[in-house]
């Protein structure tokens, strides 16, 4: 297992280099001049040239990229063009918030999606199953910003239970977590349902029932454990999407996370911030994938044996 | 089993309700909470020229002179008096006994240091390019030597870019960029904390030389979503919210928990013509287009009633704006006649540019395209990334019509007219119409050097008449600031340039 983890960690290095190269190239070829954006339309050509030199943007692509990679290995990702603060500090101040939001989104999606999926599968074509299907469809279809605003209008403005914005106190986590977790919950539910349906038709489930085991034991001990692999994959992927895709939820609830910050950075051509942000998200995504792979081993002994 | 589930559920519900009860009105009684669409990344006066930074900086810093009230009346700031020795030499006496937030006394050296930084800044330097040197005369007096006579110098010195900072506080940072997050000024509030993309906290400066503010602390919070900003006020979590959207105005107007405040500002959105590119080199063509556009309907459709159709080349909130200009009547028939006179009885084709990332401008170009079709002008719309858009208009070779905006932030007509309509302003300074008129050049030069305000008003009135008659651009929309305050909040007023003073605000009960 240790060997497997070490191998995976080493494999992340070329992946990260690839990510750096792609995002650096994209920034380089995107139309628009970061210096003009930074200085505004009233600036002079002399100032544009001076700031271009100061930011090192006059150097050839290979030199710029080489410097960036060398510095990145020393955890120096440069300074933001806009705030002039170190990229690492800027990201570090927002990343925990984004992580917390993504983790809570995943918790909500698992807490809602897995039980509903199990019940839907065990009571296939019942009223409950059909209702859950409709709710699941709604969950996937309602855009985050609409659900967020509806929740705020209902629970903040009308009933005054939860605050309409913020993310520092536990009470402030509830509405954003539901908003961001709902669409994932629907996907997790559908995956749990189909995976469970496949498993409960297997011979060993019939055998378990024939042995006279309790239905709950059959479902949770025999069926669920075997149905979990695809669910874990989906949850892992959802977590990755939530890391970078929480922009609307962050906007509605004024959460100072990485998603919206990245959008602003892209708009302002703040290259160092965009590169640093994408790299952080990519690294986190890779770690989540690794964690998911390790989790497979715990759930399924057959996979564990392959890791050796 | 069922009982324990019920127990857990009721405990959870109770917990949520208790937490919920704590959720509202959580602010200290003496903290004014202001909601903004975005908070600045830093507070160095010369490191940017952006509205959100100015909105926070005016509470922390002061300038040598300040503009007060909706009429932007010039008043003493850190300078108590000033005198022009000649049109290019301005003496200023500084206020004595003014302390910086770090306890040091402000001197003329701090003033020179701050203004030198502003002059050399690529972000705000263009506002101070006329200052050739700042000379220190003892601890409390400075002399500004100007490269050329420049009457509106005081309004430029009132710009937040000319804020006076503590030289020693700035120099205490090994990396100058770090000053932006530990600003030290002389204003009524001092900086406490900055949480990126979330909030900026200020507290009252006890040794402030002027009248104490009515609140002890200010928290600026960032809420990007417009409806969420209004909701913060409605739910009692904040006191003032800037940037209310048109779609929320009706809701704010009927809600007695909030006061809606709408005031015209100094911005103007316009449709410009490249006057060196046929057929727009013919004034009759430009006048025809002015008659073909129904500005009322454009403003109503695009801004849903916020602001109003603009009239002259500068916003009518700018002191010295000529309010007697006669608007071009919406008259497609007259437009067709003018086009025929200009040799285009069957119309022509043209391009209309604006920048991406601005929904309003994208809407305007689409409506203009439709309205001009009625007078046989076939318009091709192009949305171009902003920096490429302005760069491609640095010369007169390519563009034909374009939509852009201008804010006369200094509140002086010179700033709204000179670089935009003077021949010397061709290209990047702002005259992207490449329009030249000797009479306007002469008047704008005269307006810069004339120190008598009443005479300047006459000069600018005449210049605006000539510009209006020649239509190098069509003024489309006069902008408006829309904010809400919680009921009980008093003393808040919009400053036309957008950086509203908060030290007169009381939050009541």
Which residues of chain A are within 8 Å of residue B234 when distances are taken between CB atoms? Answer: 157
pLDDT for the residue numbered B23:
40
| Cα(B341)–Cα(B344) distance, integer angstroms | 7
Q: Do B237 and A170 touch (CB under 8 A)?
A: no
At residue B337, φ and ψ (nearest 5 deg) are: -60, -45
**Helices A127-141 and A174-199 sit at what angle, rounded to 10 degrees?**
130
B237 close contact with A: CB closer than 8 A: yes
Least confident of A221-235, B62-76, B367-381: A221-235
Per-residue three-class SS string for B296-352: HHHHHHHHCCCCEECCCCCCCCCCCCCCCCCCCCCCHHHHHHHHHHCCCCCCEEEEE
- Is pLDDT above 90 for B100? yes
The percent of residues in chain B predicted with pLDDT above 70, rounded, is: 94
Out of A24-33, A133-142, A225-234, B468-477, give the one with best mean pLDDT.
Answer: B468-477
A192 has pLDDT over 50: yes
On whether the CB atoms of residues B123 and A35 are closer than 8 A, the answer is: no
Pick the most confident of A200-204, B20-24, B253-257, B466-470: B466-470
| pLDDT reading at B337 higher than 50 | yes
B347 vs chain A: nearest CA distance in angstroms? 33
Higher pLDDT, B247 or B113: B113
What is the pLDDT at residue B4?
45
pLDDT in tens, B304-320: 889 999 999 999 999 99
B415 closest CA partner among B327, B497, B477, B309: B497
On the question of pLDDT at B8 being above 80, the answer is no
Say yes or no to pLDDT of B9 above 60: no
Preceding omega of B279 cis (within 30 degrees of 0):
yes
pLDDT of B125 > 80? The answer is yes
Percentage of the residues of chain A whose pLDDT score is greater than 90: 22
Answer yes or no: is pLDDT of B5 > 80. no
Q: Please, what's the b/e burial string for A123-146 (b: 16 or more CB within 10 A of its CB; e: otherwise)? A: eeeeeebeebbebbeebeebebbe
Give the residue-averaged pLDDT of B421-442. 95
Which pLDDT score, from 0 to 100, does residue A303 have?
79
| Residue A22 predicted with pLDDT over 90 | yes
Report pLDDT for B22.
Answer: 40
- Of the candidates A40, A74, A77, A197, which has an alpha carbon nearest to the alpha carbon of residue A132? A197
Q: Is residue A74 predicted with pLDDT exceeding 80?
A: yes
- Of A13-17, A126-130, B427-431, B445-449, the range with the highest mean pLDDT is B445-449
- Of A111-115, A159-163, A243-247, B57-61, where does mean pLDDT reach its minimum? A243-247
| Chain segment B162-206, per-residue pLDDT in tens | 999 999 999 999 999 899 999 999 999 999 999 888 899 999 999
pLDDT of B398-407, one tens digit each?
Answer: 999 999 999 9
Phi, psi of B355 (to 5 degrees): -90, 155
**What is the mean pLDDT of the segment spanning B231-250?**
92
How far is the CA of B284 from the CAs of A307, B1, B277, B289, B471, in angstroms? Answer: 81, 87, 14, 9, 9
User: Containing H/E element for B358?
Assistant: none
CB B23 to CB A163 under 8 A? yes
Q: What is the mean predicted confidence (pLDDT) over A179-205?
A: 90
Reported pTM: 0.86
CB-based contact A72:A81 (threshold 8 Å):
no
Q: Please provide the average confidence, as pLDDT, over all residues in chain B.
A: 92
Most trustworthy range by pLDDT among A116-125, A172-181, A235-244, B465-474: B465-474
Q: Which of A54, A151, A158, A163 to mutate to test the interface with B (most CBs of B within 10 A)?
A: A163
Helix (H) or strand (E) holding B404: strand B401-407
Instruction: For residue A144, list chain B residues with Cβ-Cβ distance below 8 A.
Output: none
Q: Give the one of B38, B391, B430 whose C-beta lies nearest to A36's C-beta.
A: B391
Task: With a cut of 50, say whether residue A135 has pLDDT above it.
Answer: yes
Counted across chains A and B, CB pairs separated by less than 8 A come out at 135
Instruction: Name the nearest CA neighbour of B197 among A265, A263, A94.
Output: A94
B390–chain A Cβ distance below 8 A for any pair = yes
Q: How far is A260 from chain B (nearest CA, A)?
A: 9
Indicate the DSSP class of residue B148.
Answer: S
Q: Does A41 sit within 8 Å of B428, measured CB to CB?
A: yes
Highest mean pLDDT among A201-210, B224-233, B380-389, B476-485 belongs to: B476-485
Least confident of A159-173, B55-69, B151-165, B229-243: A159-173
Give the chain B residue nearest A155 (alpha carbons): B20
ipTM beyond cut 0.95? no
pLDDT at residue A46, as a whole number: 83
* pLDDT for residue A307: 67
pLDDT(B147) > 90: yes
Q: Does B22 touch chain A (CB under 8 A)?
A: yes
Helices (H) and strands (E) in chain A, counts: 15, 0
Q: Which residue has the higher pLDDT, B213 or A79?
A: B213
pLDDT at residue A235 is higher than 70? yes
Residue B50 has pLDDT above 90, yes or no: no
User: Which of A179-183, A243-247, B157-161, B428-432 is least confident?
Assistant: A243-247
Residues in B closer than 8 angstroms to A269, CB to CB, are 387
CB of B27 within 8 Å of a chain A CB? The answer is: no
Quick count: other Cβ atoms within 10 Å of Cβ B120?
12
CB contacts, 8 Å: A152 with chain B:
228, 231
Categorize the per-residue pLDDT at B17 as very low, low, confident or very high, splitting at 50, 70 and 90. Answer: very low
| pLDDT on residue A245 | 66
- Interface check for B197 against chain A (CB to CB < 8 A): the answer is yes
Mean pLDDT of B30-40: 94
Among residues A164, A144, A182, which one has the least CA distance to residue B238? A164
Residue A240, pLDDT > 90, answer no
The pLDDT of residue A139 is 82
For residue A164, give the 3-state DSSP assignment.
Answer: coil
Q: With 50 as the cut, is the pLDDT of residue B95 above it?
A: yes
Whether pLDDT at A98 is above 70: yes
User: Distance (Å) from the C-alpha of residue A206 to the closest C-alpha of chain B?
Assistant: 28
CA distance A245 to chain B (A): 16
Mean pLDDT within A121-132: 88
Average pLDDT over residues A86-103: 90
Average pLDDT over residues B94-113: 97
Mean pLDDT, to the nearest integer, of A73-85?
A: 86
Cα of A84 to nearest chain B Cα, Å: 6
Cβ(A167)–Cβ(A179) below 8 Å: no
Are the Cβ atoms of B429 and A42 closer than 8 angstroms?
A: yes
pLDDT digits (tens, 9 = 90+) for B362-376: 999 999 999 999 999
Q: What is the pLDDT of residue B2?
A: 43
């Amino acid at each position: 297992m240790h060997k497997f983890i070490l191998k995976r960690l080493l494999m992340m290095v070329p992946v990260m280099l690839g990510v750096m190269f792609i995002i650096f190239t994209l920034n380089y070829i995107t139309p628009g001049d970061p210096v003009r954006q930074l200085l505004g339309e009233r600036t002079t050509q002399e100032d544009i040239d001076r700031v271009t030199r100061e930011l090192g943007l006059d150097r050839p692509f290979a030199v710029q990229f080489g410097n960036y990679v060398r510095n990145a290995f020393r955890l120096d990702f440069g300074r933001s063009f806009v705030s002039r603060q170190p990229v690492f500090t800027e990201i570090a101040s927002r990343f925990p918030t984004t992580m917390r939001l993504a983790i809570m989104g995943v918790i909500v999606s698992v807490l809602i999606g897995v039980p509903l999926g199990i019940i839907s599968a065990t009571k296939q074509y019942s009223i409950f199953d059909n209702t859950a299907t409709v709710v699941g469809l709604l969950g996937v279809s309602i855009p985050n910003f609409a659900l967020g605003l509806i929740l705020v209008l209902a629970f903040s403005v009308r009933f005054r239970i939860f605050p309409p914005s913020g993310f520092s106190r536990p009470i402030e986590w509830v509405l954003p977590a539901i908003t961001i977790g709902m669409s994932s919950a629907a996907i997790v539910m559908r995956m749990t349902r189909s995976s469970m349906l496949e498993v409960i038709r297997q011979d060993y489930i019939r055998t378990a029932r024939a042995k006279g085991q309790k239905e709950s034991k059959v479902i949770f001990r025999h069926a669920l454990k075997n149905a979990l692999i695809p669910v874990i994959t989906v949850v892992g992927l959802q977590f990755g999407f939530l890391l970078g895709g929480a922009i609307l939820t962050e906007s509605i609830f004024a959460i100072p996370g990485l998603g919206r910050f990245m959008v602003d950075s892209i708009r302002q051509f703040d290259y160092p911030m965009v590169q640093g942000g994408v790299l952080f998200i990519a690294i986190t995504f890779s770690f989540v994938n690794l964690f998911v792979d390790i989790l497979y081993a715990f759930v399924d002994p057959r996979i564990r044996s392959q890791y050796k | 089993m069922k009982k324990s589930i019920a127990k857990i559920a009721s405990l959870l519900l109770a917990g949520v309700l208790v937490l919920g009860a704590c959720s509202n009105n959580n602010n200290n009684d003496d903290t004014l909470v202001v909601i903004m669409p975005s908070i600045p990344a830093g507070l160095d006066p010369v490191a940017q020229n952006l509205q959100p930074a100015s909105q926070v900086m005016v509470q922390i810093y002061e300038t040598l002179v300040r503009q007060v009230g909706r009429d932007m009346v010039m008043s003493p700031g850190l300078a108590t008096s000033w005198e022009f020795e000649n049109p290019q030499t301005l003496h200023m006496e500084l206020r004595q006994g003014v302390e910086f937030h770090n306890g040091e006394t402000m001197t003329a050296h701090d003033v020179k240091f701050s203004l030198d930084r502003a002059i050399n800044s690529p972000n705000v330097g263009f506002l101070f390019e006329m200052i050739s040197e700042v000379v220190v005369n003892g601890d409390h007096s400075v002399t500004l030597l100007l490269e050329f006579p420049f009457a509106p110098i005081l309004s430029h010195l009132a710009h937040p870019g000319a804020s006076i900072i503590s030289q020693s506080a700035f120099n205490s940072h090994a990396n100058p960029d770090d000053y932006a997050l530990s600003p030290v000024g002389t204003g009524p509030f001092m900086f406490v904390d900055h949480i990126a993309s979330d909030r900026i906290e200020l507290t009252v400066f006890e040794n402030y030389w002027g009248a104490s503010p009515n609140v002890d602390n200010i928290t600026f919070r960032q809420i990007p979503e417009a409806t969420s900003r209004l909701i913060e006020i409605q739910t009692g979590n904040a006191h003032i919210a800037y940037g209310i959207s048109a779609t929320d105005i009706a809701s704010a107007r009927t809600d007695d928990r909030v006061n809606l405040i709408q005031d015209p500002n100094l911005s103007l959105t316009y449709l410009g013509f490249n006057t060196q590119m046929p057929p727009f080199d013919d004034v009759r063509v430009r006048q025809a287009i002015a008659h073909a556009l129904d500005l009322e309907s454009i403003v109503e459709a695009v801004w849903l009633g916020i602001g109003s159709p603009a009239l002259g080349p500068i916003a009518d909130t700018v002191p010295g704006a000529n309010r007697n200009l006669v608007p071009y009547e919406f008259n497609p028939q007259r437009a067709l006649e003018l086009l025929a006179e200009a040799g285009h009885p069957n119309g022509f084709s043209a391009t209309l540019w604006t920048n991406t990332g601005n929904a309003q401008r994208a809407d305007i170009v689409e409506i203009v395209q439709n309205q001009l079709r009625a007078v046989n002008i076939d318009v091709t719309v192009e949305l171009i990334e902003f920096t490429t858009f302005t760069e491609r208009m640095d010369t007169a070779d390519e563009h034909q019509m374009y939509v852009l905006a201008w804010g006369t932030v200094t509140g002086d007509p010179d700033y709204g007219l000179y670089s935009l309509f003077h021949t010397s302003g061709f290209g990047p300074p702002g005259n992207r119409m490449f329009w030249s008129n000797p009479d306007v050049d002469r008047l704008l030069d005269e307006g810069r050097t004339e120190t008598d305000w009443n005479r300047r008003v006459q000069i600018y009135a005449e210049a605006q008449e000539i510009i209006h008659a020649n239509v190098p651009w069509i003024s489309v929309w006069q902008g408006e600031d829309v904010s809400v305050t919680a009921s009980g909040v008093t003393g808040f007023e919009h400053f036309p340039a957008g950086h509203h003073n908060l030290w007169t605000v009381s939050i009541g009960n």
